[in-house]
Amino acid sequence: MTNNSLTQLILDHSDDQELLERFQKSIETEHINKGETVLKEGETSNKLYFIEQGLMRSFYMRDYKEVTCWFAFEGEHITGIDSFFQRTPSKYGIEAIEDSLVNSISYDVMNEFLDQFHSFERIVRLVLTGAYFDLVDRVEMLQFLTTHERYEKIAELKPSLLHRAPLGQIASYLGMTQETLSRIRGIKN
Amino acid sequence: MTNNSLTQLILDHSDDQELLERFQKSIETEHINKGETVLKEGETSNKLYFIEQGLMRSFYMRDYKEVTCWFAFEGEHITGIDSFFQRTPSKYGIEAIEDSLVNSISYDVMNEFLDQFHSFERIVRLVLTGAYFDLVDRVEMLQFLTTHERYEKIAELKPSLLHRAPLGQIASYLGMTQETLSRIRGIKN
DNA sequence: CGTTAGTTTGAGAGGACTCAAAGTCTGTGG
DNA sequence: CCACAGACTTTGAGTCCTCTCAAACTAACG
C-alpha cells in the first residue's frame, strides 16, 4: 500500500473501503523534472496533481509577463483549476520548479468517483472550501499589506520558498516587482 | 409552490423530488430592513441567505474601519462563509443595504441534506466552485487594475451598485479610499 | 569559459494615500 | 413643512510608496 497525501485525504474524510481501494488503483505516479511543464496555457487540464516531493507552480501570462498565482509544496495539490473543473482551455500553465514526485488522478476517474461515491463528493467539496479560504487570505494580503508586510508574511509562512523559487516568481506571487522584492530582501538581511 | 432562487438551484442540478420537497418546506422567508444586521462579527453564522429582492453586504473591521468584502444582489446568496462552513465565530458582519426579502436555510438543515442527499452535496460543491472563481476575479482586480480600471469594471458588471450602495462601501470593496473613488467618478461623468 | 538567466542597484516619475475642510443630502422632530 | 443634526461626498494640498527604465553585477549551465 502506497502511503501518500492523496490516500491520506480519503482516510481523513471517509471510511469507504471500496473507494479507498479503487482510488489507490487509479493513482498514477510520475517524476517531473525541474522546469518541465505539465500543463500549457490553452490546453485542457486532465489531471489533478498531488505533490509528494518537490515544488510546482501555476502561472499565467499578463501583459507579456508571467504571473505566478500559486506555489504547491509537498503534501499540497495543484491543477489548472478553471480548466479541470469547467472543462475549458486553461488560463494557467503548470510547471515544476524543482525535480518533483507527484501522484495524479485523471479527470475521468475523478468524475466517476464523484458520481459513485457521496463521500468523494464531500472530500472534493472540503478541498475546494480550503482553497477558497486560501484565496481569501490572498485577497487580504493584496488589498491591505505593504510590500514589506507581504515579504514578512511569506517569510513566516513559507520560509523555504525564498530559497527554492526564483525571485521574479515570488515577486509576482506577492504582487510586486522583482526590483522591489530584491530591495526589501536586502534591507531585511 | 414558491418560485425562488433557492429552489431554482435545486432544479438546475438535481431531479430528486424528495430533496426538492423537503427543501421547500425548510426554507424560511424574512423581510430585512435597510441597515439591519443579520450577523454580527464574532457570532456564529447559522443561516445561508438567498436574496429575492434587495441588496446585502458582508464586511469586517480592519484598523477601525469597515471593509466591505462582498455585495449580494437579487438571485445571489450570502453568509458568514468562514463561520457557516467551519462553525467558528464569524470574522464578517452581514447587513441589508436596502429593504430586502430573503429566503434562508439553516446550518442544521443544510447539514442534514448534505448527509442524506448526494445531489445536495454536489450542489454545494458547485456553488463553492462558483464562489472560488468569483474570488479569482477579485484577486486579479486588486493585483493588476488601476483604480480607474476597477471603477470601469464595476460600472460595467454591476452598474446599479453605484447608485444603490454608499460610496465608502463601494470604495473599500474596490480596494481604494472613498476620496479616490469620488474623484474618479467626478472625471467619468 | 562563455552565454544566458537571474539579481541588484540607481534615478526619476506618478498614482494613490493621508489629513483637512467645505459642501450636500437625508431623515427626524418640532 | 421647515430646520437642524448627522451621515455622506467632494475638493484640495502635500507626501510617500512602488513602479518604470536602465545598467551593472552575479550565478548557473552547457
pTM exceeds cut of 0.85:
yes
Q: What is the Rg, in whole angstroms, of the alpha carbon atoms belonging to chain A?
A: 18
Q: Is the per-residue pLDDT at B96 higher than 70? A: yes
Query: How confident is the prediction for chain B on average, in pLDDT?
Result: 92
> A94-133 burial by CB neighbour count: b if 16+ within 10 A, else e?
bbbbeebbbbbbebebbeebbeebbbbbbbbbbbbbebbe
In the structure grid, which three cell numbers stand for residue A65, read together? 509577463
In this prediction, residue A120 carries a pLDDT of 95
**Average pLDDT over every residue of B170-183:** 97
Inter-chain residue contact A132 with B136, CB threshold 8 Å: no
Reply yes or no on whether the pLDDT at B143 is more than 80: yes
Q: What is the pLDDT of residue B187?
A: 85
Chain D bases near protein CB atoms (7 A cut-off): 8-13, 17-22
Q: What are the pLDDT digits (tens) for A125-137?
A: 999 999 999 999 9
When comparing pLDDT for A158 and A188, which is higher?
Answer: A158
Number of A/B CB contacts below 8 angstroms equals: 56
- Beta-carbon count within 10 A of B32 CB: 20
Share the mean pLDDT of chain A: 92
Instruction: Give per-residue pLDDT as tens, B33-86.
Output: 999 999 999 999 999 999 999 999 999 999 889 999 999 999 999 999 999 999
Residue A96 CA to chain centroid, in angstroms? Answer: 11
Can you give the pLDDT at residue A83? 94
Percentage above 90 pLDDT, chain B: 89
Asked if B122 and A129 come within 8 Å (Cβ–Cβ), the reply is no
- CA of B180: nearest nucleotide by C1' is C16
Q: How far, in Å, CA of A138 to CA of B141, rounded?
A: 12
Q: Is the pLDDT of residue A2 over 70?
A: no
Give the separation between CA B106 and CA B27, rounded to whole angstroms.
8
Pick the residue from chain B with its C-alpha nearest to A140. Answer: B139
pLDDT given at position B3? 53
Residue A171: the pLDDT is 97
Q: Give the per-residue pLDDT at B1.
A: 39
pLDDT at residue number B142: 96
Q: Do A60 and A136 touch, CB atoms closer than 8 A?
A: no
Displacement of CA B139 from its chain's centroid (Å) = 17
Instruction: Tell whether the model's pLDDT for residue A152 goes beyond 60.
Output: yes
Answer yes or no: is pLDDT of A8 > 90. no
Mutate to test the interface with A, among B13, B85, B118 (most CBs of A within 10 A): B118
Residue A13, pLDDT score: 84
Region A56-70: mean pLDDT is 93
Nearest to A149 by CA among A109, A125, A184, A111: A184
Collect all residues from A whose CB is shorter than 8 A from any CB in B: 62, 67, 69, 81-82, 85, 114, 118, 121-122, 124-125, 128-129, 131-133, 135-136, 138-139, 142-144, 175
For B41, the 3-state DSSP assignment is: coil
Return the SS3 of A129.
helix
Q: Please indicate whether, in this complex, the C-beta atoms of B114 and A129 are within 8 angstroms of each other.
A: no
